[in-house]
Amino acid sequence: MKLTKKSHSCVRLEKDGRTLVLDPGGLTEQDAAIGAEAILVTHEHPDHFDEGRLRAAMEADPAAEIWTLASVAEQISAAFPGRVHTVGHGDTFTAAGFDIQVHGELHAVIHPDIPRITNVGYLVDGGKVFHPGDALTVPDHPVETLMLPVQAPWSKISEVIDYVREVKPQRAYDIHDALLTDLARPIYDRQIGALGGSEHLRLTPGDSAEV
């Protein structure tokens, strides 16, 4: 499986000539979802869900489909009848040849005064890759490659480190990093790499790795 990091939380997976894209939001490239046969969206925040990027991908490929939770589906399903599928925790499905399990229900707490919204994570091909969206969800399944939300308004580095320790992936690649400056990245690399207990890796947007 080829994993390509796009800006912020967007990830592109390719296998057997088929393409799956996760979270092509407003902080990622305009064409991040173009060419995807399937698109998965974790939640409704604009850095993960951008209607324009989804519309562009759906219009470019009349066979493309979206899987997401209800709060996103209700915003775009009318434009693409039968092509937007609502999922929730515990659901399983196949998209673009990838087997998907859905884990999690709520976004991480940003502040007690801010109501929590729904959020789901996607476990791909039996644990090859796990993308949690904006939550520190621990799936009840071994994970080979964790897409790690490394920096966010709702987290601190001790929580990120403990999340890696709890999931115990073989490797963790940074996502949710658009707000992290290059000056700060070595601090995160050093602390997560030394304390997380898993191989900690980072891809520049556009770079790829085999997983």
For 167-188, how does the pLDDT look when each residue is reduced to its tens digit (9 = 90+)? 999 999 999 999 999 999 999 9
* CA-to-CA dists, residue 132 to 18, 57, 119, 141, 145, angstroms: 22, 22, 8, 13, 12
DSSP conformation class of 70:
H
| Residue whose pair of structure tokens reads 């644990």 in the numeric block | 127
**Residues in the chain, overall count:** 211
Q: How far apart are the first and last CA of the chain?
A: 6
Provide the pLDDT for residue 191: 96
pLDDT per residue as tens digits for the range 19-49? 999 999 999 999 999 999 999 999 999 999 9
User: Is pTM, for the whole model, over 0.95?
Assistant: yes
Provide the pLDDT for residue 34: 97
Cross-sheet strand order for the sheet of 145-149: 92-95, 98-103, 121-124, 129-131, 145-149, 171-175, 199-201
Domains of the chain, residue spans:
2-210
Superfamily of domain 2-210: Ribonuclease Z/Hydroxyacylglutathione hydrolase-like (3.60.15.10)
